[in-house]
Amino acid sequence: MARISAVLAAVLALNPCLGAAFPRRLLASKIPTRDVQEAYDYVVIGGGTAGLTVADRLTEDGKTTVLVVEYGELSNSSSITTVQGGFMGMSDTELLYNINSVPQTNLRNRSIAVLAGKVVGGSSAVNAMMTVRGTAEDYDRWGDFFGSDSHWSWRGLLPYFKRALNFVPPDEDVAKSANITYDTRFWGNTSGVYAGWPSFQYPGTTAQLDAFRGMPGVPFVNDSGSGEPGVYWFPTFMDPKLVERSYARTGHYDNKAANRTNYHLVTGSKVTRIILNGTVATGVSFVPVTSLSTNQTVLPTNQTVLPTTVKARKEVILAAGGIHSPQVLQLSGIGPRKLLDSANITTVVDLPGVGANFQDHGMIFAAWQYQNYSIHPSPDDLFLNDTFAAWASAVWSANRTGPNSIAIGNAAAWLPFPVISPRAANLSAALAAQNHTAYLPPDTDPTVAAGYRAQMLALAAALTSNRTAFYSLAISGGAVSGGSLVALHPLSRGTVALNATDPRGSEPLVDYRALANPLDAAVMADMLRFTRAYHLANPRTAAWNATELAPGNATETDEQFVEYLAEALSPSEFHPSGTCAMLPRELGGVVDEELRVYGVTGLRVVDASVFPTLPGANTCQTVYAVAEKAADLIRYGPAGLLKD
């Protein structure tokens, strides 16, 4: 966690008002374990982004009974509600699992913090609040793994993107002064989860956004939800009236589901396994977190805890996230036989894809400082200009407006690879020609290897496409730019596996296998080269006189960039995905197109673990859309899906 702490310290230094606490609201209702009923229609494992969304939708009829079992607690911490900076949730260790990856061979054996929300609301309670969706081609790619008639596509998901969020346009004056564009055709207005906007924007944000017009071929997009890559403004997961984080708990529990008699939520509980009768999921077993050790992450091996067992009349829905969903399956005897044998767990369904195909967005540290930057006010003025800082504090205290209503920011470039790299065609051909299996663990199952090859061929085509974003750079509006360069489609694949030496008492072993595919480094090198050109060889930024702080001008060749990435790459933007992939079973898939686990009746997975490939965007909005669609699949089947 040292690296994350350093980042947070820097954020807090830039935003001194972040530490101010807001009044805590009353806790929403929940039930104690002793009041859990013997059986429910559905038992949902995980009260996070996806789990709360699905549970809300399934109980809307007032008749369908649902139990949600969540490891974390209902928290009213100001770390969650605070908007400014967007990172307060990540600063509160009470809200996060304590997990670190295995040492990463290609990253100087660094261990990486694995951040995931441990609270009702899950990661939607602690993320950076960036409300972004991927491109149309990202979601069409998912369906293509099944065939041209798949309902997993941009058109098949757009109605659920609309249902998932309540879009509130930005203030008219702010939009005009900052040149914020949007198109309400791509948004809905019925959800309890809000996509809102701050009441202030720094003029430098607009200037730095416009500076991309000095780079050849860069597209500009009118709305972030259009499914097109380019430079654009995007909203924030924020309730615009309260000016607080809007997340799964506030949108799908507090104001609706909490008062339903057919909906029960149990918190502070760890699911130990899914109960199977043969290959039929019949219920869930869980134990109280209070029976766990002091850091609340592991069960003491010398302690026996009597579990609570609950039956599911219809289905068990697994929504524990990209790290814990594969672990729950493995503990239940669903997963790779070799792994389960090593942990002395009886294999019920040999499903090699469980825990494979692990993906996350890579964050590359890079920084430039403008020596002749005179656009004010800027984010720097919050701690360099006492007058501006006092004004910002005053308007926030008076009516919750001004700079303190900005989360991590609302502007970025999400660009196709041909726009940023002159060698897109060469790298595409190299990726297609690889012996893909050589870049997977040596004991990888042939079906998982086949799925990886299918993904790499799809991404090879995407490298030459102008409809897939590979590159993301957030705009700060200040004199220092950088630290937020993101690789949107990593080519390497990792694993999440239970710890065979203590399968039920420890967190899973998380291995990003960063830079395992050497072409990742080449793609990231060109991302850095393009960003360098934006700052140093761009007529729109020339007057600001940028100095490169990192990686430095001496880093030029691919080999030098590999050395730099070993020190400066985080393989995680805290978007763990892909570990229960929605793919054909012969491609290492874990769930089918209805999110049903292969070989098991009455069991579905609904969270980011089902993403076969990452969308080129922050994952939260896509998780909401997938969960909304999953609720319709569960209630009505494919015939009842919404169509755009």
Place of tokens 């199952």: 445
Pairing of strands 39-45, 66-69: parallel
- 377: preceding bond cis by omega (within 30 degrees): yes
Q: Is 146 helix (H, G, I), strand (E, B) or coil?
A: coil
Buried b (16+ CB within 10 A) or exposed e, 118-146: bbbbbbbbbbbbbbbbbbbbbbbbbbbbb
b/e burial code for range 611-634 (CB count within 10 A of at least 16 → b): bbbbbbbbbbbbbbbbbbbbbbbb
Task: For residue 271, say whether it is annotated as part of any ligand binding site.
Answer: yes
Cβ-Cβ contacts under 8 Å for 23 (sequence gap 6 or more): none
Based on C-alpha coordinates, what's the Rg of the chain?
23
Task: Report the SS3 class of residue 339.
Answer: helix
d(CA 419, CA 466): 8
Angle (CA) 277 280 285, round 5°: 65
Tell which residue, 363, 418, 374, has the closest CA to residue 216. Answer: 418
Whole-number Å distance between alpha carbons of 569 and 346: 39
Sign of CA dihedral 364, 369, 374, 380: positive
Q: How far apart are CA 614 and CA 620, in angstroms?
A: 12
| Residue 136 to residues 221, 232, 236, 411, 465, Cα–Cα distance (Å) | 13, 16, 21, 20, 12
Tell me how far CA of residue 148 lies from CA of 139, 143, 184, 237, in angstroms: 12, 7, 29, 33
Dist CA 355 CA 504 (whole Å) = 16
Tokens read off for 185: 């055709």
Q: Please give the backbone phi and psi of residue 561, each rounded to the nearest 5 degrees, phi first.
A: -70, -35
Say how far apart CA 43 and CA 263 lie, in whole Å. Answer: 10
Q: Which residues are annotated as a binding site for FAD?
A: 119, 271
Q: Which residues are annotated as a binding site?
A: 119, 271
